Structure formats: C-alpha cells, structure tokens
A and B are shown apart, each in its own frame.
Chain A
Amino acid sequence: MYRKKECVAMLLAGGQGSRLYVLTTKVAKPAVPFGGKYKIIDFPLSNCINSGIDTVGVLTQYEPHALNAYVGAGQTWDLDRLNGGVYILPPYQKGKTSEWYKGTANAIYQNIGFVDEYDPEYVLILSGDHIYKMNYNKMLQQHKKTGADATIAVIDVPLDEASRFGIMNCHEDGTIYEFEEKPKKPKSTLASMGIYIFTWKKLRQYLTDDEKKPESSYDFGKDIIPDMLAAGEKLVTFRFEGYWKDVGTIESLWEANMDLLSPKSGLNLTDDSWKIYGRNNGAPPHYTSKDAKVTHSLVSEGCEIMGDVSESVLFSDVTIGKGAKVEYSILMPGAVVEPGAVVRYAIVAENARICEKAQVGGTPTEVGPDDWGVAVVAAEVKIGKGAVLKAKEMADKDLPDEI
C-alpha cells in the first residue's frame, strides 16, 4: 500500500505534568480539561487537522488510559483515515531491548519505524501542554522555502520573563546561532514554543547518533538542538504571533481559562474558520433557573445553574445549587456545588462535590498577595458540609463535614 505523506506530526503526550499536582495524579497532562468543553490535547490535534496534517502519532507513557480512550479512532478531529489518521504510540517491547521513553528525543527514536512507514520529507514535533491556535502549514512552507534542516517556532516574550524559557538567539534572517535554556541574562526575547519541524532524514540521523551517547538526556532542547547547532546545521526560527500559553502549572491553567473570558486575550474559540474540536458527551443545553445569576462566564452543555456564577468557566454537567456562589473559578465536568457553598478563585476537578455551606478558595485581597493562590479540589473528592479549603490549598482526599 502506498502510504507516503509529506509531513507527519508526532505529539509528545507522555509527560505527567507534575506541577499540576492533584489534577494529574490519574491522567496525563494533555488529558486535563480546558476551556469549558475541551482537553489540552484538543488544541494541537485540531491545529493539525486544520493545517492539513492528517497523520499524527501521539506518544503516551504516563497514565495513558484516559488519553487512549479519549483519542480513540480520532473521529472527533476527523482523523479517522484510511491512510494516516491518529495513532497512540506507547513504549513497546522490542526484539532485544524494551524500555520506557527516556526523553522526548528517545520517544521519537523508539518510533522511527512508525514514521518511516509514511516515508515523510518532514516531521512536525508537538507537545501536549500548550493552548494556542497555529497554522503549522505556514511553518512548513517557510521550512521548505528556507531549506532549513530544522525550523523552530518562537514567540516574543517580555524581557523580564525570558529567563523562564528556552531562548533562541538568531541573526536578522532568522537563522539561529545559539540556544540557551532558561538563561539568567537573556540576549533575546524569542522563546522556543516546543514546536519543531525537522527534515526527517536529518533528524533520523541525529536521533540515531544521540541514542549511542550514554550521557545524553535524550531531549530535543538539551541534546538534539545543541548538537545540530554545533554541527553547523541550518536552524531557522518561525515567528508566531498570537495567543500561546503553557498550561503546565495550576496558576497558568487557571489564567488561561480566565483568558477565555477576556475579549482582548487573543484566544478566540468562536472562530468558525479554525475550530477546536473536542469530544462531546451529548448532554442537553444548560439550564439557568430563575434563582440563578450568571454574568461574565462560559457555561457548557448539561449544566444546571440555580446559584450565582460570575467570572467562571463551567464545563459540561456542572450543578450549582441554590444560593451557592461561584467566582473566578473553573468547574470541570460533573462538579457539584451544593446550596450555600462558596467557591472562589478555585479549580474544582471532575465530579468533585462541594457540600452545603462549604468554602473553597479566597480572594487575593482577603489573604494578601503573598499567601494567595488558586485552591484546587481533585477529581471525585468531596468537601464536607461547612468545611473550609483555603486559598492555595489542595484537596486530594475528602474533607469531613464541619457542621
């Protein structure tokens, strides 16, 4: 069967996302819900199909079950294809050796066989922890035009934040001469977005060579990119302008959700020309009762709202009881806030229950900016009647009733 594809995407979805703490104890980071009806992985997958890339390998390792079940045959993203489509690629046993993915580069190395089946000219490397809308095809066209060996997507970040990122120092024509991981004194403000296009022949060689080095950390940022630079390969930046956010921490995940409520954030999910697809659970439209007051919020299907909701994102099938108050919070699918409970500046994960008169989270002014943080209730956890979960605290098991 003739299976050649010009470009194959490889999506690195194996990371735990340990800085999301209790939100990723049972699921991998890409499977974390985002934006009222999506999961993080919906963004790169939708970007792929919208960019005309219909062959995607999803590399999973940490808690893969939820992700495997979610991706399924790829129908949701129109990636159920006769030739190509979406494939889940977990580590597997091989002839003599079998091992876990040791790093991002090693994960691709272990799947060279998968990529080779499609005999692609180019490979697009993506990560599953960013929220953005990007046309990868534009990047591919630039890669072809410049004749680069690798093209790295970069975004201009504020100078005072640059030391948190991998920074690309480049000439005026965009070719990169130096890469610095989290530099103390950044020379440029172009941060790597973790999105790479490689000419497959070149990358294949570097992956194979890197695998032979016992001291390597088998990572794109730490090993492959520096090696290619050292060898004088042509690495070019691709400037991305628009909304892009790493949602690897509780704060950034909360902020990115809040960005959806702000028309100026640049993240627009209502644009029909670049839809983000997500699996739909078939719930009826949401119901808002006459006791409810909902302002400046996103509300998804299946919700039943009897209380007050403001500046919040409600995923599907969330219930807000009468007299309950929800502010600046994210309520993931199936969460229940019982009558009289108060939820402020919090993330309440799937099917968690905030019982009557319980209090979760607090405002920055109440607790002071230094002690403030987003409160988090893990999936399936119950906060008992009248119980209190303070700002910045995380509940990964039930709190008993206080009244």
Chain B
Amino acid sequence: MKNVLGIIIAVDNDNDLREITEHRTVAAVPFGGRYRIVDFMLSNMVNSGIFRIGLLMKDKYQSLIDHIGNGKDWDLSRKNGGVTMLPPYSYSKKSSPLVVGEYRGKIDALSGAIDFLQKNRAEYVVLADGDVIANIPIDEVIQQHIDAENDITMVVTKKGKENRLSTYCEMNRRKEIVDIRVGDSNDSKCKHEALGVYVMSRQYLIHLIADCVTHNCIHFERELLTRALTDSKIGGYLFSAYACKIEDTYQYFKANMDMLDKETRDEVFLRTRPIYTRICDESPAYYGDKAKVEDSLIADGCHIEGKVVNSVLFRDVLVEKDAVVSNSIIMENGRILNGASLAHIITDRGVTIRDGRTMMGHENYPVVIAKSSVI
C-alpha cells in the first residue's frame, strides 16, 4: 500500500470521558490493560501496509506524543514515511488560504495540515478517528473502494444502542450510502453506524476540504459528508467483527469489560494482525500464595496478593492481601493496599487506595478516580 496515506484524527469532538480526558486526548487514553486507544487504528494501518501516517491533534496531546515517540514500536520509524505529528498551528496562514487558527472540528484540523496533504504523493487517503477499538482490515476497505469505483468508502457496522454522538447511515443493497444522519437514526431507518474510517482519493479530499472551508462548514459528518452525498458515490464497507467508538465514560468502561469475553478478544487481538503498543519491558505478572483472580485481564508487572474479580489491571498494579477489586479498571501503577475494596471504579494512572478504604460506583455510572490521587 505504498500509494496510501493514513491520517488519524486525534481531535476530540464531543467525546467526554470526564477525569480520564482531563489531561489527555481520547486517542491517548489507556485501554485494555496495556494499550492506548490510538494503538488500534495505528496497528490497523500498519497491518494493512500503510507506513505513512499523519497524526492530527488539537489539544492535550503531550501524552499522545510521549506514547508514540518516533513510532518504532509500530514499525513506523521509517526512512520514507513513518509517523508525522501534526499539532495545531503547524503551518503558517501564509502557506495556504485554507489554514485556519484554532480548530473547531475535524475539517479545521485537516485544512490546518493542508500543506501535508498537498505535498504527499499518495493516491488514496485513509481518514480515521483515533477513538475506535476494532481490528479493521483497511486493505480490504481500500480494495472495495477501488473495485466499486466509489468516491468515498466508509466503514460501517450494524447500529447499536442509540447515542447522540453517533453517525447513522442508510445503505442500500448495492452497498451505497443513501442517507447520513448524526445523533438520530430516523426511526431506525438507518440500520448502520459509521466507525469514522473513510477512504477516498487524496485529490478528492483536498477538494472537499477546500469546498467546506470556503463555505465555512465545520462539521465533518454533518456538512462535509452530506455535501458529498449530493453529487458523489459513497459506498459502505460493512465491518461485522467487534467495534466500539469510545465517546463517553460508560462506553469506555463497557468496552474494557467487553475484552473479558474470549470471543471479543479473538476478534480484536488477532495473531495475524497484532495490536502494537509502546514496549515497557515489565517482568511477568506475579501471583502470591493467597491470590484469587477470576475473569480478569492482568498485564505484566502486576503483583497480586488479594482478590481480583471481573476487572482489567494495567501494568505494574499492586493488589495487596485482603484487598478486593471487582468490576473495575485499574490503570498503570495503581496501588490497592491491604483490605481496600473497589467495585465499578476506574482509577487513572498512579492512584493509591489506602488500607481498608471502600469505593463503589455502579454498572451504569462507573466512578473515575483522577490521576495520582491518594484515597
């Protein structure tokens, strides 16, 4: 896929993960015990042979930049291509009339990096949101795009629970998209939902961006796509394995818990298309004599003496004797001390729960404990 450019959009639109995204963009949020959400889309691209990837960001991106580094853990430290960081104000307004100031959305972000798009020589562009958990064969999407001679091909899944942030689409039997709606499925006439992954030719994307910026359109799905729908052919690639867009805390919690299911894991972590992430060289997890672990994902470097049920433990988490962690997500370096008890809790990195403390959330409302807190 030498003629394909990947662009990952790590710009949070309406995504809100409360305390978890206070200091970082959604793409940089830790997920599944050892990953960051962006790892999934980066790996999808690399596994599809795309080794030129631009990463668009808007704010709170230091955590993302630290995570990616020079890209070598994704095999993206390349002489030609590799990963290019595209923070805001990268290009001067003098470089193109399309460059805007502060980003109001994805379109502004794309036009802010129009120089990057114009100078690239790739024929196709894969535009993907950085908040998706899925193992998508993007090479197949591109092939379908070429075979069907589409102007745009978008990846869709069957519609799930209705969400005000989701983009719904109606697709006919010829896999053509006939309607696109944001936040409303038109009484379920739209049976599909977009995953935020789009394939189109680079020239066409530049044309659409110019069209939107000059007409002051800022919303990608509401404006850019619907404008395109009037005069071009948009195809849908139906993706039927596990997929989740992380848009709020509940979805984040649920998606993590989904990973406890073997079938879901087998759909997301394929041996033939692995999900890469930054390597931290922790030693294997240690289980003590009294450890009791049920139905949980445990990362390397963990030290478990207590009880862990139905939970996801990231790297280097300590669970002391008589501590109980249930239905919870404990991020890196969490310390759950002697006799503490947690249920339906998400602790951000470096949280300490002191001896004997009890914290409880509910399945519908997992409580988030902010980074480095001591309870």
Contacts and interface: CB of A to CB of B under 8 A. Distances in A.
B260 interface: yes
Nearest to B301: A270
B154 to A, nearest CB: 28
A287 B275 contact: no
B276 A285 contact: no
A19 B298 CA distance: 35
- Which of B262, B279, B303, B312 has the most C-beta atoms of chain A within 10 angstroms of its own C-beta? B279
Interface string A271-283: 0000111101111
A75 B296 CA distance: 32
A293 B265 CA distance: 21
Contact of B283 (A36, A290, A292, A295): A36
B297 A314 contact: no
A163 to B, nearest CB: 34
B262 A296 contact: no
A252 B58 CA distance: 55
Interface string B262-284: 10010011000011110101111
B313 interface: yes
Contacts of A36: 283-284
A292 B281 contact: no
Interface string B200-239: 0000000000000000000000000000000000000000
Interface string B325-341: 00000000000000000
Contacts of B282: 270
Interface string B21-64: 00000000000111100000000000000000000000000000
Interface string A291-306: 0111111111100100
Contact of B276 (A35, A282, A287, A300): A282
Contacts of A292: 293-294
B289 A290 contact: no
Interface in A295-327: 295-301, 304, 313-314
A285 B33 contact: yes
A130 interface: no
B365 interface: no
A282 B280 CA distance: 11
A281 B277 CA distance: 10
A275 B281 contact: yes
B297 A287 contact: yes
A36 B282 CA distance: 11
A314 B274 contact: no
A344 interface: no
B297 A37 contact: no
A288 interface: yes
Contact of A299 (B275, B281, B298): B298
- Which of B275, B276, B283, B289 has the most C-beta atoms of chain A within 10 angstroms of its own C-beta? B283
B259 interface: yes
Contacts of B72: 75
Contact of A269 (B34, B276, B283, B288): B283
A37 B284 CA distance: 7
A285 B265 CA distance: 11
B295 interface: yes
A285 B275 contact: no
A284 interface: yes
A18 interface: no
Nearest to B304: A294
Interface residues of B, number: 42
B257 to A, nearest CB: 13
Contacts of B34: 284-285, 301
B291 A280 contact: no
Contacts of A222: none
B283 A37 contact: yes
Contacts of A37: 283-284, 300
A193 B54 CA distance: 51
A289 interface: yes
A316 to B, nearest CB: 9
B268 to A, nearest CB: 8
Contact of B285 (A276, A283, A284, A286): A286
B293 A288 contact: yes
Interface in B125-146: none
A164 B255 CA distance: 57
B297 A299 contact: no
A286 B297 CA distance: 6
A285 B284 contact: no
B291 A284 contact: no
Interface string A234-275: 000000000000000000000000000000000001100001
Contacts of B283: 35-37, 269-270, 276, 298
A62 B303 CA distance: 38
A18 B272 CA distance: 34
Given A300-B300, A301-B300, A284 B284 contact: no
B34 to A, nearest CB: 6
A139 B67 CA distance: 36
A289 B274 CA distance: 22
- Which of A278, A280, A304 has the most C-beta atoms of chain B within 10 angstroms of its own C-beta? A280
A275 B196 CA distance: 40
Nearest to A309: B287
A144 B286 CA distance: 41
B35 to A, nearest CB: 8
Contact of A298 (B262, B281, B286): B286
Contacts of A289: 294-295
Interface string B147-180: 0000000000000000000000000000000000
B297 A284 contact: yes
B269 A284 contact: yes
Given A275-B281, A289-B295, A298-B283, 4 more contacts: A270-B282, A277-B281, A282-B277, A285-B299
In order of increasing CB-CB distance, the 8 nearest A-B pairs are A285-B33, A36-B284, A269-B283, A285-B299, A290-B294, A300-B284, A298-B284, A288-B293
16 contacts: A269-B283, A270-B286, A277-B281, A280-B279, A280-B281, A282-B276, A286-B285, A286-B297, A287-B297, A287-B298, A295-B287, A299-B285, A299-B298, A300-B285, A301-B299, A301-B300
Interface of B: 32-35, 72, 259-260, 262, 265, 268-269, 274-277, 279, 281-301, 303, 309, 312-314
